[in-house]
Chains A and B, each alone.
Chain A
């Protein structure tokens, strides 16, 4: 059962990465327009070069 000493911190660490990613996405306002962002990816306007 000694493996628990590694596995539990590892699992908590991985979970914390997910939480940090969520906090980051929240702070950068990525939930403001979920529907629009889902559709924008279908649009070919800036496929060849980045939006100026």
Chain B
């Protein structure tokens, strides 16, 4: 496609960058480098570009890195052995949050090619429009006779190939619409373009005064501009779907005849035995055969307290194994697992959403038949009034079609949507669905999930000063030996305080229970309440058993997601009703609701109850925005009028939601509803502007007073005002 050698390595626009891979090829080092694409929601300036590119290029095995600031991505060419996780960790040290993207899905060059194809047609139409317009200005300012005819012929020579080449997207869609028995936007557009060109050609051969070549080309140009903007927005939405490609490889470790083999999830059958390592996700529903551990159910149910798992406990697919290795006997896999049943709930809820008709569709449905009837009426009445002057009647009908052609209408929605989604993207929100912005504008109720949405799902130690320094020193020593999230949070908090760990020997982790060691001749334990020697508290806690006396509880609260309070306050200031529906226990939910200022909260909600609550809101005529991240939210996300999920959410939840929050901060949700409301107002204003122009211009056209100059003026003025209005979005 290009003459420059950039088939491997990142794309670049400068010859020096393009020369780098070529030089490597000469040196024989670039042995098929793997391309890794990372999403970088935080890059925003020239400094970020240098920092990221230099930081990544310094890593071993990385051939080159190129940041795309527009898409907020970095594309890395690295040796096959380089793991994306090391790159993400390196970026984390530089202060940039990064997520891996699926390179295979993103290199979908098909949409890319379509975009460039449209841009090419737009460029050709722009070139033709400028030249034809220059010639037309000469005609309008009084060129006559042979000069006028010459100018018309030159215009025809430019306009006809342009219309044929640039109008193809419209013609193709119009034919498809007619075949399906519909009248889309494209039928009147194609009719106007073709009729204007044909009439003008006929007039030119007859030496007539009026030729509409400029109008035909201008129409093509403005409509292509709208079409290109529309395509860009949809391409971004589609690549957003690529962003959400599953990061985890769906595999399980199957134990067969004592040997472990990696198999795809689809191959699991009930009765199989699988091994789940600490930190891994349960691949299927099952019963624990051997091993003890704790499991984190927060993504499934919203509960923050880890639950004990030992021989005989039933586990569900999607839970995370925390401390010890487990062997499961599969009871339900694939289609029958609880995970999949949840996905079915989503499918049912989603079918409701596809019934939403966008503003543009509603406008087109009113507009197309009206325009055709108007042109037909003009043709008929002029035929009757002039006693059968076909040439005049067709001229006037064409003028009506040109004047009413939805230039401004075609730009009204794409221009606003592009401006708004660009603004939201800069705030870290990725719009996945075409009509999400419009639906977001209608929202009056916002439903939040707790764990992982308003909180980070990361525990934070409470009341560190209430403890005896000796206990803290013991806890610091024990916590450092465990991989359990609570122990690690405790260890980090104590290390930050500068607590010196006590002398503890014989440290060992007892999977499912906690950590044990010997200090001063006594057995000390950190872990579950019963094991450490005390009763369970109602809040998230880990317990320190000192060998004598009752155990001490270290309590944790879930850390608030940054911007949670701001988001809730912002939404409430916009007059929206804010609710919190969580699967967690009442204590934790009430505490969080009080911290962020939500009065209306529900605790202990099962996934089906969440859907029911959201559906009940819809039945009462409310439009709900659901913000959630867990599997237990997935169905509710799909059932809500519009939904947002953070990038840290499970892929099922992200797939079910319309908008993905790329950054860690949740505050942009409040901005999003505000911008969406503004965007909707601008779209309606734009419709108003187009209608106003038509009200002025259509009577002129019907009366036969519309000259090519009037058509050109009306068209360009309305298109420019509509685009400028879209840019007013703040």
Stretch in B122-130, B578-586, B641-649 touching the partner: B122-130
**Does B119 have its Cβ within 8 Å of any Cβ on chain A?**
yes
Interface size of B by Cβ–Cβ distance < 8 Å?
A: 33
Which candidate, B42-50, B281-289, B624-632, is the interface stretch facing chain A? Answer: B42-50
Q: Contact check: which of B1, B67, B147 meets A27 at CB < 8 Å?
A: B1
- The total number of A-B Cβ pairs within 8 Å is 73
- The answer on a CB contact under 8 Å between B50 and A37 is no
As a 0/1 sequence over residues 63 to 78 of chain B, the CB contacts with chain A under 8 angstroms (1 = contact) are 0000111110000000
Option from B1, B50, B67 in Cβ contact (under 8 Å) with A45: B50
| Residues of chain A within 8 A of B134, CB atoms compared | 11
Residues of A within 8 A of B147 (CB): 1, 4
In this complex, the member of B20, B49, B124, B150 whose beta carbon has the largest number of chain A beta carbons within 10 angstroms is B49
Q: Is B2 an interface residue (CB 8 A)?
A: yes
CB distance from B123 to the nearest CB of A (A): 5
Contact flag A43-B120 (CB < 8 Å), given A8-B154, A33-B71: no
Which residues of B sit under 8 angstroms from A18, Cβ to Cβ?
127
Interface stretch, picked from B10-18, B84-92, B651-659, is B10-18
The answer to whether B69 and A35 touch across the interface, beta carbons within 8 angstroms, is yes
Chain A hits for B11, CB < 8 A: 29, 32
Q: Would you give the shortest CB distance from B290 to chain A, in whole angstroms? A: 53
Name the interface residues of B14-46: CB closer than 8 Å to any CB of A.
14, 16-17, 20, 45-46
Contact with A along B614-639 (1 / 0, CB 8 A): 00000000000000000000000000
* Distance in Å: Cβ of A43 to nearest Cβ of chain B: 4
Q: Which residues of A contact B4 (CB under 8 A)?
A: 28
Contact B13 A29 (CB under 8 A): yes
Q: Are A28 and B13 CB-contacts (below 8 A) given A22-B123, A43-B49?
A: yes
CA distance A46 to B57 in the complex (A): 15
Task: Judge whether B261 is part of the interface by a CB distance below 8 angstroms.
Answer: no
C-alpha gap A36/B47 in the complex (Å): 11
Q: Are A19 and B123 in contact (CB under 8 A)?
A: yes
The residue of chain B having its C-beta at the shortest distance from the C-beta of A22 within the complex is B123
In the assembled complex, B114 has its CB within 8 A of some CB on chain A: no
Given contacts A23-B120, A46-B16, contact A15 B131 (CB under 8 A): yes
Q: Give chain A interface residues in 2-41, CB to chain B under 8 Å.
A: 4, 8, 11-12, 15-16, 18-19, 22-23, 26-37, 39-40
Contact B46 A39 (CB under 8 A): yes
B47's nearest neighbour on chain A, judged by CB, is A43
Q: How near does chain A come to B714, taking the closest CB pair, in angstroms?
A: 25
Of A4, A26, A33, A50, which is within 8 A of B68 by CB? A33
Q: In whole angstroms, how far apart are the Cα atoms of A3 and B69 in the complex?
A: 49
Contact B71 A39 (CB under 8 A): no
Known: A4-B147, A27-B2. 18 other contacts (CB 8 A): A1-B147, A11-B134, A12-B158, A15-B127, A19-B124, A26-B119, A29-B2, A29-B13, A32-B11, A32-B13, A32-B68, A34-B70, A39-B45, A39-B49, A43-B49, A43-B50, A51-B17, A51-B20
Residues of B within 8 A of A (CB): 1-2, 4, 11, 13-14, 16-17, 20, 45-47, 49-50, 54, 67-71, 116, 119-120, 123-124, 127, 130-131, 134, 147, 150, 154, 158
**Can you list 9 A-B contacts (CB < 8 A)?**
A8-B154, A11-B134, A18-B127, A29-B13, A30-B13, A32-B11, A32-B70, A33-B13, A37-B13
Interface residues of A, Cβ cutoff 8 Å to B: 1, 4, 8, 11-12, 15-16, 18-19, 22-23, 26-37, 39-40, 42-43, 45-46, 50-52
**Which 9 A-B pairs give the minimum distances between C-beta atoms?**
A36-B69, A39-B46, A50-B16, A42-B46, A43-B46, A19-B127, A33-B68, A35-B70, A22-B123
